Amino acid sequence: MPHLVILYTGNLEKETDMTALCRSLADVMLVQHDESDKPVFPTGGTRVLAYPAAHYAVADDGTAGKAAGGSGDYAFVYLNLRMGRGRSPAVHKRVGDALLMATKAHFQPLFSQRHIGVTLQIDEGPEVFDAKHSNLHPLFK
């Protein structure tokens, strides 16, 4: 862990490079440090995954968007960062602000062309089961 999962409307698939967004957000995560100047996220545990929604309805009842001058073809991006417990509220805010800034920068060219909603949430909580098996971490020690 951490895992940043991005869900987005499929209409963005042809309009932006989601792999580039994933790489950008992973890079943002990897430069985050806590109050003791220790990395917040381990390189070997950082994952950013993006999934398009083939079927969706966003901010439209089928007629209101077009009547209001919109295209009715709205887009949405949901980012959910799941991280282990133990980071301070200040770290949560710094990480969230940095991820949101990078996301907004990525989509900036599209904001002038279409309507897009972006939501970023950070979750941490008690796991009811947490098992791991990986040979990735030793690569980055």
Are β-strands 3-9 and 47-53 bridged in parallel, bridged antiparallel, or unpaired?
Answer: parallel
Nearest CA among 79, 78, 74 for reference residue 111: 74
Task: Note the pTM of the prediction, 2 decimals.
Answer: 0.85
3-126: in CATH 3.30.429.10: yes
12-21 confidence digits (pLDDT tens):
999 999 999 9
55-109 confidence digits (pLDDT tens):
988 876 555 545 445 566 899 999 999 998 899 999 999 999 999 999 999 999 9
pLDDT band at 121 (very low <50, low <70, confident <90, very high): very high
Domain ranges of the chain: 3-126
Measured CA distances, 66 to 15, 62, 128 (Å): 21, 8, 46
20-37 confidence digits (pLDDT tens):
999 999 999 999 999 999
Distance in angstroms (rounded) separating the CA atoms of residues 139 and 141: 6
Distance in angstroms (rounded) separating the CA atoms of residues 72 and 68: 9
